[in-house]
Amino acid sequence: MVSGTDLAVGELDAEAASAQLEDAGAVEILRWAIASVPRFAVTSSFGADSAVLLHLLSTVDPGVPVLFLETGFHFPETLRYRRELVELLGLRNLRDLKPVLTVAQQAGEHGGGLYLRDADACCEIRKVEPLNRALREFDGWASGVRRDQTDERADTPIVKRVTREGRELLKVSPLARWTAQEVEDYIDRHGLPRHPLAEAGYSSIGCAPCTRAVAPGEDPRAGRWAGSAKTECGIHIELPGDAVPLELSEGSER
Ligand code: SF4
């Protein structure tokens, strides 16, 4: 097994680590990451599947920082669920990542309903930039991305080297191999609470303006940015090199 305890993140062979962890359990992957990445965090949307990774983390180290993108557009149910899970699991280090602009300031600078006119720009302001800014404090992070979620995620490695603002970090996906059914089974087996909107057909939950319930048989992520070609907010897509800072002028329609 690759051990990163005596290696700087920049020296760690992410491909070799990923290959060696391919058949490992999620707890083993989290333990490896915590031991190998000096400053390690976990991101969570507190969405429909989030309880699994957070529960696993709570069994390994509930003090690991949990980063939540507080976009200002979440369903109230998501914010309540977040409080419930944090308390239930004893997560001791929840951090809200806030955009530079409040919702009102964004509307003032770029016009209201930017998510309708240019969702990529809105996600850049409210998700991508705040996450990249927060990651300055860390050497790597884990998220709950799974290969079965979308075609774009089908090749997700367990460990990947990524560049953010000129720094190399490790991105870890402990649940990459899990299926939606395994997530369901884990939630049931451990009696974890479900997101309050899950029963209403919200199988993938993001910001309220960009999320709708899905009908039985529909793709579980069909309710995200429904009616547009957009399928990702950008935080799980690796950019070639550094993320380019967004420069929007008033009313920009990028
Ligand atoms: Fe804006 Fe929608 Fe992206 Fe949330 S998901 S940041 S509301 S475009």
225 Cβ closer than 6 Å to some ligand 1 atom: no
Confidence band for 239, pLDDT divided at 50, 70 and 90: very low
Average pLDDT over residues 69-94: 98
Active site residue 233: yes
Write down the pLDDT at residue 249: 30
Is the separation of the CB atoms in 215 and 200 below 8 Å? no
Is the separation of the CB atoms in 42 and 57 below 8 Å? yes
The pair of structure tokens assigned to 7 is 């290696």
- The C-alpha atoms of residue 250 and residue 107 are separated, in whole angstroms, by 9
> What residue spans of the chain are helical by DSSP H?
14-21, 26-36, 50-60, 76-89, 103-110, 114-117, 119-123, 129-134, 180-189
What's the gap in Å between 17 CA and the centre of ligand 1?
Answer: 33
Write down the pLDDT at residue 5: 45
CATH number of 9-191: 3.40.50.620
205 Cβ closer than 6 Å to some ligand 1 atom: no
Q: Give the pLDDT confidence of 172-216 residue by residue, as tens digits.
A: 999 999 999 999 999 999 999 999 999 999 988 999 999 989 888
**For a pLDDT cut of 90, what percent of the chain falls above it?**
76
Confidence band for 12, pLDDT divided at 50, 70 and 90: confident
Mean pLDDT across the chain, nearest whole number? 89
Q: What ligand 1 atom has the least distance to the C-alpha of 121?
A: 8
Question: Minimal CA–CA distance to 223: which of 206, 236, 238, 239?
Answer: 206
Domain boundaries, the chain: 9-191
Is the separation of the CB atoms in 158 and 29 below 8 Å? yes
